[in-house]
């Protein structure tokens, strides 16, 4: 089973739900998805191991489309990257409602 699932939420918004530890194959296919996907992403980390997520989210951060993350207590510092022309806005929210509301306005 893949460590993430992708399901539609709204027009132009997909939910990326983290469901278990990442294997290298999962990392590669998620990178491939982020490379090709041009919509917005609602990243659902409910029930995920925050420590395990942190390393990968930090590395995925530069590749992410516009995204709102919720569901795990992450250190916001892992989302900080140098402001640059290639990078999209990614924010952390305490709840799904807040995350989705922000995402819909982007």
Partner 1 sequence: MKTQSAINTYVKEIGGWAASQLEACTRCGLCADACHFYQATGNPEYTPVWKTEPLRRAYEQRFTIAGRLKLAVGLDKPVTDEDLKHWSTIVYEACTLCNKCAMVCPMGIQLGPLIHDVRSGMAAAGVVPGDLVAATMKQKDVGSPLGVTDKTWAERMEWIGDEWEVKIPMDVQSADTLVVFTSIELMKFPDNIAAIAKIMDKAGEKWTTSSKGREVVNFGYFEADEELTKLFLSRVFDAAKELGVKRIMISECGHAYDAFRWTAANIMDMPKNVAITHIAQVMHDFWKAGRIRLKKGAYDDGTVTFHDSCKIQRRGGIIKEPREILKWLAPSSFKEMTPNKEQALCCGGGGGVISIQEADPLRFAVFGMKVDQMKEIGAKSVCMVCSNCRLQFTEGVAHFGSDVKVRGLSEMVSQALE
Which residues contact partner 1 (rule: CB under 8 A)? Answer: 22, 24, 27-28, 31-32, 35-36, 38, 55, 59, 62-63, 81-87
The CA R_g of the chain, rounded to the nearest whole Å, is 13
Q: Tokens for 36? A: 């090709």
The answer to whether the CB of 69 falls within 8 A of the CB of 45 is yes
* Complex with partner 1: residue 86 or 105, whichever CB lies closer: 86
Shortest Å, Cβ 45 to partner 1: 19
* Complex with partner 1: residue 36 or 51, whichever CB lies closer: 36
* Burial (CB count <10 Å: 0-12, 13-18, 19+), residue 29: middle
Which candidate, 17, 6, 62, places its Cα nearest to that of 39? Answer: 6
Shortest Å, Cβ 94 to partner 1: 28
Question: Which residues, 6 or more positions from 82, have their beta carbon under 8 angstroms from its beta carbon?
Answer: none
* Complex with partner 1: residue 39 or 96, whichever CB lies closer: 39
* Complex with partner 1: residue 17 or 56, whichever CB lies closer: 56
């Amino acid at each position: 089973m893949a460590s993430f699932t992708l399901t539609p939420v709204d027009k132009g918004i997909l939910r990326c739900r983290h469901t278990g530890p990442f294997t290298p194959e999962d990392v590669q296919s998620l990178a491939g998805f982020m490379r090709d996907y041009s919509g917005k992403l609602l990243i659902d980390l409910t029930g995920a191991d925050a420590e395990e997520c942190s390393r990968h989210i930090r590395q995925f951060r530069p590749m992410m489309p516009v995204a709102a993350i919720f569901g795990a207590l992450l250190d916001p510092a892992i989302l900080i990257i140098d402001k640059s022309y290639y990078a999209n806005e990614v924010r952390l929210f305490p709840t799904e409602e807040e995350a989705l509301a922000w995402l819909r306005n982007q």
